Structure 1
Amino acid sequence: MKDLKEFNIPFVGLKEGKHEFKYLIDNKFFEAFNFDEYVNSSIEVLLTFVKKSTLFELVFVAEGSVELPCDVTNELFNQEIKSELPLVVNFGPEYNSDNEEILVLPHEAYEMNVAQFIYEMIVLAVPNKRVHPKVLDGTMESEALNKLRELEIKKVKAVETTDPRWDKLKNLITEKKT
């Protein structure tokens, strides 16, 4: 986390009111978290920091893209990132981040590092199943996709056959009604 000092916000020296911080996120940022799933990343994060007398209101807004492999074809593609994370920072006797919407900092704190919040917001903005847009619209041509199509299970029309024991039971129900 040494490399992430630029994400420290010394709030003690800030006046009350609205402040904006802008961060450009690339792969070096993710390397600090030992996260290497993205081949390339270019994300702009705008942090609106509102300082009030007893608390802070933070709103993180991320826009950009990450280049990653498709789960179906392993082809690289750019996944658009658009995410927003509101956070309220309050003060208390000790640090507490149990609630995802409220962070409690100790009274003696004088700065906070927002890198972890930015990291989590971006990683959670990427879908669990990463599918290349050309796979979704059917225009992708790749060896992996052709092999998957070749091995696809074809639907066979099944002739409906019923178990004669069930037929007897069905007859019992219809006989009772009459």
Structure 2
Amino acid sequence: MGRGREYEIAFVGLKPGPHEYNYEITDKFFTAFQQQDFRNCQAQIKLVLDKKTGFMLLKFVVGGKLEVTCDRCSNNLPLELWDEFTITVKMVENPEEMNDQEEDPDVYYIGRGESHLHVANWIYEFINLSIPMQKSCDFEKMDGPYCNPAVREMLNRLEENP
């Protein structure tokens, strides 16, 4: 996806055991991807790569904040991010075939001859998975501090007089 070396990890020279990487993700990161449903992203990704013999365990911890549009009143709504994701990367002779056959989305295969791991797509995916499907000011009362009062009033009138 046109990502620079910033999101490549050269794992060949790493000793077995855990190795930590930290990434600061802003809106600029997402320009190579499709249009997003959020803006003003200030995410922090902590990646712990635990190198083993023949495979690696990757733990992504997503934190930070971004801004979404409320599904009910269309106002800007700040949203805190926090989530954890784990990927197992296995080194095999035929990674394309193995990835096609693998049913577990948390297992990924790379060729034994590869030396770098590209993590940008996983960062993109995990930030998007950290955003709830329903984004609203206050789901029950619709009276959160960011709720648009004009829209709230109109929705209340429609509810009373359908």
More off after superposition, 34-43 vs 17-26: 34-43
What letter corresponds to residue 154 of structure 2 in structure 1? K
Where 1:77 maps in the other structure, the secondary structure is: strand
Question: Partner of 2:151 in structure 1?
Answer: 144
Which structure's relative contact order is higher, taking Cα pairs within 8 Å and 6+ residues apart?
A: 2
In structure 1, the residue corresponding to 2:71 is in which secondary structure? coil
Mark the runs of 5 or more structure 2 residues left unpaired by the alignment.
none
The AA in structure 2 aligned to 1:59 is K
What's the RMSD between the two structures over aligned residues? 2.1
Greater CA drift, 92-101 or 142-151: 92-101
Secondary structure of the structure 2 residue equivalent to 1:121: helix
Equivalent of 2:119 in 114, 117, 130: 114
Query: What are structure 1's unaligned runs of at least 5 residues?
Result: 156-178
**Deviation (angstroms), 1:153:** 4.3
Deviation digits for residues 17-65 of structure 1 (CA, Å, limit 9, x no counterpart): 1100000111111222123321211110000011112111110001111
Q: Are 2:17 and 2:50, in contact at CA under 8 Å, matched by a contact in 1?
A: yes
Instruction: Tell me which residue corresponds to 2:41.
Output: 41
Q: How far is the alpha carbon of 1:10 from its aligned partner?
A: 1.0
Match of 2:107 among 99, 102, 109: 102
Q: 2:74–2:148: 8 Å Cα contact kept in structure 1? A: no
1:64-103: CA deviation from partner (whole Å, max 9, x where unpaired): 1110110111110111111100111101122326431111
8 Å CA contact 1:4–1:115 kept in 2: the answer is no
Q: How far is 1:4 from its partner?
A: 4.1
SS at match of 2:3: helix
**Deviation per residue, 1:145-165 (Å, 9 max, x gap):** 11111111469xxxxxxxxxx
Please list, as runs of the form range in 1=range in 2, the aligned pairs for 1:1-178 lying within 5 A after superposition. 1-92=1-92, 93-95=94-96, 96=99, 98=102, 99-133=104-138, 136=141, 138-139=143-144, 140-153=147-160
Measured in 1, the distance between the counterparts of 2:117 and 2:161 equals 57
- CA distance in 2 between counterparts of 1:10 and 1:23 reads 16
8 A Cα contact 1:18 1:49, kept in partner: yes
Aligned AA for 1:148? L
Relative to total residues, which structure has the larger helix share, 1 or 2?
1
8 Å contact kept, 1:40–1:66 = yes
User: TM-score when scaled to structure 2?
Assistant: 0.86
Q: State the number of aligned residues.
A: 155
TM-score (norm 1): 0.79
